[in-house]
C-alpha cells in the first residue's frame, strides 16, 4: 500500500453544549506517526498519521478530559503506540490492548501495569461460513470464540475485561459463548446493528436481551456507522434506548479517527448528539463520567 487514507476531520465543530467535568471518550485509536510506530504488514489501510498529539488537541477542543484508547489492527499486536499515549496522558488516558489468545501471563501483567484495562477481539461474518459460526475465527488474531472465552480465565486475576467487536448478525451465535466469560464483556458500537431496522429487529433485540446480564456493557458509539447518514437519527434512537434501559452499563466514544468509514464524521457533531442520547443531567453524568470511572478506574 502506498496511498494514504484520511480518516479524521481536521477541523471539527464545537459541541453544542459543555460536556461535564471529567467527561470520557471511551473509544478512540491512535495511528503512528508511522515513522516511529510502524503500521502492521497486515493492515488493510495505510492511514494518514493520527498521533496522540492530534487526539489530545481534539479532546481539548471538545471538552473531554479522560479517554480509553483501543489498539487498532493498523498496528497489530504491537501495543507500544497506545502505551506511549497512555504515558503522555498522565493518568487521564487508559488503554485496551490487541493480543493473541496465546498471550503470556507475563505480558498480560505488563499491559495491566502499563495502563491497559482489557483486551479486544474482532469477529467477522465472512469467517463464519468457514468456521460454522460457533467456532468463529478472529479477523487477525487467529482464535475461535471459545478460545477467546478460555483466555478470560487468565484475565480474571488481573481484573482485565474482554472487549468484543462483531457484525450484528453474529450476536445470536456468539451470545451463548460470551456468556461463559469469566470477566465483564464490553460490546463495541452497539453490536454494529443496522439502525435502519429499528428496535424491533432481531439483532437489536438480541443485544438488548444480552444486556439483561449485568456482566455485559455496551458502547453507544458508532451512530454514524449504523445510520443512513447525518444527522444520525436512527443511531441516536437506539443509543438512547440503551442508555435509558441500562444507565449504569453504557459508555460513549467518538471512535476517532474513524478508519474504514464511508464518510468522515464531524466529531463535534457526534458529541452534540449526546444531548439526544442522554437528555438528562443524570444520564449524561452516568454515561460520560460515572460509568467510565467505575469501570476503568481512572486515577483521581
Q: DSSP assignment of 171-199, as one string?
A: HHHHHHHHTT-SS-EEEGGGGG--GGG-T
pLDDT one-digit tens code per residue, 104-138: 999 999 999 999 999 999 997 544 443 444 444 44
Task: Give the residue from 153, 156, 177 showing the smallest Cα distance to 164.
Answer: 177
Q: What CA–CA distance (Å, rounded) separates 206 from 171?
A: 7
For 173-216, the pLDDT digits (tens) are: 999 999 999 999 999 999 999 999 999 999 999 999 999 999 99
Q: What angle do CA 72, 77, 78 make, to 5 degrees?
A: 90
Prediction pTM value:
0.94
The string of pLDDT tens digits covering residues 28-41 is: 999 999 999 999 98
With beta carbons less than 8 A apart as the criterion, state whether 217 and 252 touch.
no
List the catalytic residues.
Answer: 255
pLDDT at residue number 292: 98
Distance of CA 53 to the CA centre of its chain: 20
SS3 letters for 244-267?
HHCCCCEECCCCCCCCCCCCCCCH
Residue in 250, 248, 246 with CA at minimum distance from that of residue 220: 250
Amino acid at each position: 500500500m502506498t496511498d494514504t487514507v484520511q480518516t479524521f476531520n481536521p477541523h471539527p465543530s464545537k459541541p453544542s453544549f459543555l460536556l461535564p467535568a471529567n467527561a470520557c471518550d471511551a473509544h478512540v485509536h491512535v495511528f503512528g506517526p508511522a515513522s516511529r510506530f510502524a503500521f502492521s504488514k497486515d493492515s488493510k489501510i495505510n492511514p494518514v498519521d493520527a498521533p496522540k498529539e492530534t487526539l489530545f488537541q481534539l479532546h481539548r477542543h471538545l471538552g473531554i478530559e479522560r479517554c480509553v484508547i483501543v489498539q487498532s489492527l493498523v498496528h497489530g499486536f504491537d501495543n507500544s503506540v497506545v502505551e506511549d499515549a497512555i504515558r503522555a496522558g498522565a493518568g487521564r488516558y487508559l488503554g485496551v490492548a490487541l493480543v493473541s489468545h496465546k498471550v503470556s501471563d507475563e505480558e498480560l501483567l505488563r499491559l495491566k501495569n502499563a495502563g491497559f484495562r482489557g483486551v479486544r477481539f474482532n469477529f467477522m461474518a465472512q469467517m463464519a461460513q468457514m468456521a460454522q459460526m460457533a467456532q468463529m475465527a478472529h479477523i487477525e488474531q487467529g482464535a475461535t470464540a471459545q478460545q477467546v472465552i478460555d483466555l478470560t480465565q487468565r484475565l480474571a486475576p488481573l481484573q482485565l475485561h474482554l472487549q468484543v467487536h462483531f457484525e450484528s448478525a453474529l450476536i445470536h451465535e456468539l451470545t451463548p459463548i460470551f456468556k461463559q466469560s469469566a470477566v465483564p464483556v464490553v460490546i463495541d458500537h452497539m453490536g454494529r446493528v443496522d439502525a435502519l431496522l429499528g428496535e424491533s429487529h432481531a439483532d437489536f433485540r438480541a443485544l438488548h436481551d444480552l444486556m439483561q446480564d449485568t456482566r455485559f456493557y455496551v458502547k453507544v458509539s458508532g451512530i454514524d456507522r449504523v445510520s443512513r447518514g447525518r444527522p444520525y437519527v436512527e443511531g441516536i434512537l437506539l443509543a438512547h434506548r440503551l442508555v435509558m434501559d441500562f444507565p449504569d452499563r453504557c459508555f460513549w466514544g467518538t471512535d476517532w479517527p474513524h478508519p474504514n468509514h464511508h464518510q468522515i464524521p464531524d466529531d463535534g457533531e457526534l458529541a452534540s448528539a449526546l444531548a439526544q442520547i442522554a437528555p438528562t443531567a443524570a444520564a449524561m453524568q452516568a454515561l460520560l463520567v460515572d460509568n467510565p470511572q467505575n469501570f476503568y478506574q481512572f486515577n483521581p
